[in-house]
Structure 1
């Protein structure tokens, strides 16, 4: 069995970084070549029969030569000779009807170890235990993924799929960290993630939340403006609803406690489009998207100014308009000031 051969020799394949074969003595990083592309194509679909056509596309791209079938067999033989140097059985690559299969397990392939750690993390009931397993899984990644494999097909089809697994894992790690109140501890990491993945809005949400919960409200709003400008200039789009709701929560000085934070991300705030009372916070029951956009627009236009305690002061022009439209508002009896933002350790 391939797993037995790998375990006995201590040999291990890596794809969560440079394609390589490692044993107890050394790590051999494969040079860009057709056999390397073949090996990467098999290892990114571990223990599955990969069709011959898919393997040929990974090696030659869309223009497959007439000699591809014989050349593919030659690549398999070259890989088997390479494996022999590391004590790995030649049967690790199996020729089966319609394609080839690479038999590996969690000891002999980093990708399978990564997925196994994720599965174990998912079964945990304690956040700290889940977090430890997720961080152990992320430690297996050493980008650039398949940086030494020159295959446009793999980088177009397989690497993004693997990267998505990494992104979902990182998101989960910082969801847990924030829920545990470790906002200050992870700020530097979140800043780096947001800067290195400027179009990935979830990292910006987590950064803005962490800044707000550590009392850095101005910095949180500055980061929102940064991602908004990037999305507008580079992609021609506005921030998504989750980011817009989060900006609104920061503007209003809402408390983002660990329990309340998911609601800020997932549950729309009910804000009326024009229900802005003098010296009070907005309220109402209109559609959240419209309300969020209108409130942000009023602030940016200078028609609303933030005051102490999360209240908003209305410019005289807007005050005159709202009074003319619906009469004068006053704070409801017994209305409480909004709670200050929760702080993090």
Structure 2
């Protein structure tokens, strides 16, 4: 994995060494390009992301210079080509297979869900692999409507994938692993009622009524209401 946006921005070379992206606008510009991988992004859109609260003189030139520097700082594309392409007033970051965590995240989830009915153990492997890519809130350096919507979409997808993972683990007779995944998720603030409800249900289905009752009581304390 060369580029990570599922959490703080992380850029690495193929050998695992971290890439020094620089400070100032560099991380925001790269994050904005990674928000739309393999697509041309016009300079006006980039400027809106990098400077959301003000108009900057010569923004196009500043972005051009920044992108030129980022080419030097980022891993090559396909081992030989510059990672970022430019043409007048537009820039594009090139991303290959398994190079950007957000794209791989969605791909693994899709594969896992497709396998759910036919091969639950393998589905659990794919879904678990996707969820392990998550390090925190995506695109934290950006503050635009689009970046917030994309971050929320990925967060919602993560929680949906957790539900699919629990389904796969239960079908694969791995109730203990399902409980562990739900306990870990339930511990994240703020508490999510659907996660707690699923934890209680899985514990009951697994023949662990005492733990289910304890989880229900804890959920009531965390959420401030009885699950019923």
TM-score normalised per structure 1: 0.55
Describe the SS at the equivalent of 2:110.
helix
- Report 1:131-142 matches (<5 A): 131-142=124-135
Structure 1 position 144, deviation (Å) = 5.8
Aligned 8 A contact 1:32 1:150 in 2: no
* 1:179 matches 2:171: yes
Aligned counterpart, 2:209:
217
* 1:14 matches 2:7: no
User: Any idea what the Cα deviations from partners look like across 1:258-304, whole Å, max 9, x if unmatched?
Assistant: xxxxxxxxxxxxxxxxxxxxxxxxxxxxxxxxxxxxxxxxxxxxxxx
Aligned 8 A contact 2:21 2:74 in 1: no
User: Any idea what the Cα deviations from partners look like across 1:21-67, whole Å, max 9, x if unmatched?
Assistant: 22226222645431111111111221223343332222122323233
Q: Distance in 2 between matches of 1:62 and 1:157?
A: 18
Structure 1 position 161, deviation (Å) = 2.8
Equivalent of 2:34 in 38, 43, 50 = 43
Q: Distance in 2 between matches of 1:80 and 1:28?
A: 11
Describe the SS at the equivalent of 2:65.
helix
Structure 1 position 196, deviation (Å) = 0.8
* 1:110 matches 2:88: no
Q: Distance in 2 between matches of 1:225 and 1:96?
A: 60
- Larger Cα Rg: Structure 1 or Structure 2? 1
Aligned 8 A contact 2:131 2:158 in 1: yes
Aligned 8 A contact 1:184 1:210 in 2: no
Stretches of structure 1 lacking an aligned partner (at least 5 in a row)? 1-10, 233-237, 248-345
* Aligned alpha-carbon RMSD (Å): 3.1
Change (3 A) 1:119 1:218: closer
Q: Distance in 2 between matches of 1:158 and 1:126?
A: 30
Aligned counterpart, 1:165:
157
Change (3 A) 1:215 1:29: farther
Asked which structure has the greater RCO (Cα within 8 Å, sep 6+), the reply is 2
Aligned counterpart, 2:55:
64
Aligned 8 A contact 1:14 1:111 in 2: yes
Q: Distance in 1 between matches of 2:2 and 2:215?
A: 42
Describe the SS at the equivalent of 2:207.
coil
Aligned counterpart, 1:79:
70
Describe the SS at the equivalent of 2:96.
coil
TM-score normalised per structure 2: 0.79
Aligned counterpart, 2:182:
190
Change (3 A) 1:189 1:119: closer
Aligned counterpart, 1:339:
none
User: Any idea what the Cα deviations from partners look like across 1:49-90, whole Å, max 9, x if unmatched?
Assistant: 334333222212232323322211121111112137895522
Describe the SS at the equivalent of 1:100.
strand
Structure 1 position 204, deviation (Å) = 1.0
